[in-house]
Structure 1
């Protein structure tokens, strides 16, 4: 493959970088901004808990499953071409979401929006590598990482402002429709500024379609008992789906091993399965995302539907978390060489204590003061999160050969999104099931549901903490053995 990017003057590279950064920002913003709109969607479209689960978890699942093939599509057919396809698809899906007349259609359009977002994301990373080299590349990735934190912080506040200013009915629709003018500008700018691509000679797409289908079936089977559980209760949920998930997982692993042994492009190559550091890091990240991702949804619903406070206040609660997490994530690189996996252990412990404190505060703090106490606690929890996500990514990929770095990064992102999808289904199921069966007024029932959902988060963080401690001790033992040899 040849590229025009190596000959682009600095000014043109900066313009191209601005375009891809804006697109990545748009897709990430749409994750956090929608969480604030969920109570308005529920009231406007008469959405039930199953619809809410599909609206949030469906986007994340589609995003995760399409990431790996989307990266391959960009490599073979050109990153600018796939980037444009993704942006156009994202805008069309966003408009469809904003105009959706029913909750069921909104759920479907969110799936399509997740697919389009997944087409964009790998091209952003690939184009940064294509446009920059050396220290410039490091700075570019640093700016991209900072944009993730900014989008997470701005999303809930922007969503709250739109709903507060336009009202619940128009406000949640504006959350999606705001992508239309942004997307039009991005398409025009991308066609003008992004570098072209000379197609690879005799390129083969090499997608593991069977592996992706088996993985999707497995994840969906895990989620199914929790989808719609508010109607039957967890005791009446169809738990037999878990047997299908087990069969699907065994079939997936058997297929991956067989395909890899034949030299095929497996979703998870055998070399990564045998890389102990990668396996531990992926497992820990999956558990953390399973517990962490759903926090913002239950906070949003609890504040708006339970305490009857505005969307803007619900959005502001997450702002301290985003600020401290972003700052500590940037600083964690200085401490990582010294503390290694133990830095992640510290981060998980702080995060777990923070969420437990949030649970206690929702029970003992008087209602008028709960939002302000929650903001303070989430600021502390953000410190812990800053020590988890970025350091875990660096440690997980540290022992992976450079030639396999792209594949490993794609697998890591996919497993995190899959974990987030399952975690969202579980947490929202526990939340809505508990709220439906709890007695008392709205504040009491939503407060009890909020508390139970947070305990699911703490449980998943504890699982991640155990994995991290085992890996930290393993790494320490290996380092001591190497020092004594």
Structure 2
């Protein structure tokens, strides 16, 4: 049953969930079509990495400024503008004839998606309160996750039905009907524009340093450094940018201005650890799905439809476990997330072992079973972890906590997609490339990310128990904002 006290609030939630489906489906549905896109456009490895990772980069960087603009200008209008941009750029990308045209369209499309999702987060916090707010945000996260898991299956069906060349373009056009339907729902059901802030105090310098730091982390994986000295220079640049970001945040606080990352969030160790868990698990999930679809088609020579069938169990398992995750939380508490992450590591290790040892004929079936475990792990991780993270957001920073969380996830996804796909593409390049070995190595990188997440998850309950539960944010006591009710 949907949270909320009346039909209007539930309609708002449905419109927001439709936005999550549209924007997250768009990225995952393209994964299955990457080999066809690469061949059609004669795109190089760097082009492919920018096409798949650039979307996540601009998505994440737009979340915080989008939320600030929504506070000042109202959310509904920005939602409609962002979604219209998203749909339009999807058409441009689908009709592009050169890799650089597709890259630019995907970058702008990601910014539109980030603008939409920042308004979703703010709208759900405006309309819902208390437990209903946590349930609404959880449903939004799970719906987007299931859509992302279903994307490869839908993309595979399109490529199989229409062929590689039209197929990858139709994958990019799939967001058009979804986006138009979401626009109609948002126009009718979202509450009228209401400004919640008098003026914007967005930390543009902080956002610039964060973006530059992300690029410094991404670019070495997209364009591999030719020497140890070049790698050291990239590492030094990342450290300098991280230092500039930290110093800039401190100076902004001393000046009495709002920083990009609220100081209370940085001081909340449970929130920081939970965000780190979300970053590692989200980046690992997207990167593992991308390299799997590339390996099944370019490495094993399977059709797009067969590759999609291998990934489909993940979506099914994720939908089922997401529905029962809250019952598991009642018994295991915060350890539910740890159990889900451990199951994800087990699935990735099993997939890597099977790739280098199983016969070719049996490998697709084995990887389908691995996907079943991976989907179940994601269902136990996504919504429970988000609820824990937002629960430990300090009261004075409750409003920006969701935006920072999603921005961190998207930036981590951009870096993980670049690193993991770059590892696989380099391992398969040239006449001596070994797809099986390259896929196993890429999968182990994803397992390493989840191992970091498990370590953080084991540390979080000890800190929480030591400090005691946080006070309920003042915003949770606030009555929901009035929602414009449409006639039945």
The normalised TM-score by structure 1 is: 0.89
> Cα RMSD between the aligned structures?
2.6
Match of 2:354 in 1: 361
Q: CA deviation at 1:418?
A: 1.2
Distance in 1 of aligned mates of 2:350 and 2:223: 29
Match of 1:4 in 2: none
Match of 2:213 in 1: 218
Distance in 1 of aligned mates of 2:263 and 2:381: 26
Aligned with 2:45 (options 45, 49, 55): 49
Match of 2:417 in 1: 424
The aligned runs of 1:47-196 (5 Å cut-off) are 47-132=43-128, 140-141=136-137, 143-196=139-192
CA contact (8 A) 1:71 1:123 kept: yes
Aligned with 1:467 (options 456, 475, 479): 456
Q: 1:251 to 1:292 in 2, by over 3 A?
A: same
Relative contact order: is structure 1 or structure 2 higher (C-alpha 8 Å, sep ≥ 6)? Answer: 2
CA contact (8 A) 2:93 2:102 kept: yes
CA displacement, residues 120-142 of structure 1 (integer Å, 9 cap, x when unaligned): 11222333344455776566545
CA displacement, residues 423-443 of structure 1 (integer Å, 9 cap, x when unaligned): 111111111111125726xxx
Distance in 2 of aligned mates of 1:469 and 1:17: 33
CA contact (8 A) 2:138 2:386 kept: no
Q: CA deviation at 1:11?
A: 5.4
Match of 2:432 in 1: 439
Match of 2:481 in 1: none
The secondary structure found in structure 2 opposite 1:368 is coil
Q: CA deviation at 1:303?
A: 0.5
CA contact (8 A) 1:344 1:468 kept: yes
Q: 1:141 to 1:243 in 2, by over 3 A?
A: closer
2:439 is aligned with 1:450: yes
The secondary structure found in structure 1 opposite 2:363 is helix
CA contact (8 A) 2:329 2:384 kept: yes
The normalised TM-score by structure 2 is: 0.88
Distance in 1 of aligned mates of 2:368 and 2:227: 31
Distance in 1 of aligned mates of 2:411 and 2:116: 18
Q: CA deviation at 1:476?
A: 5.0
Q: CA deviation at 1:314?
A: 1.7
2:337 is aligned with 1:341: no
Q: CA deviation at 1:466?
A: 1.9
The aligned runs of 1:183-332 (5 Å cut-off) are 183-199=179-195, 203-229=198-224, 238-332=231-325
CA contact (8 A) 2:121 2:403 kept: no
Q: 1:365 to 1:23 in 2, by over 3 A?
A: same
Structure 1: gaps (5+ residues)? 1-8, 481-485
Q: 1:141 to 1:277 in 2, by over 3 A?
A: closer
CA displacement, residues 63-99 of structure 1 (integer Å, 9 cap, x when unaligned): 1111011111112111110011011100111011001
Alignment size in residue pairs: 466
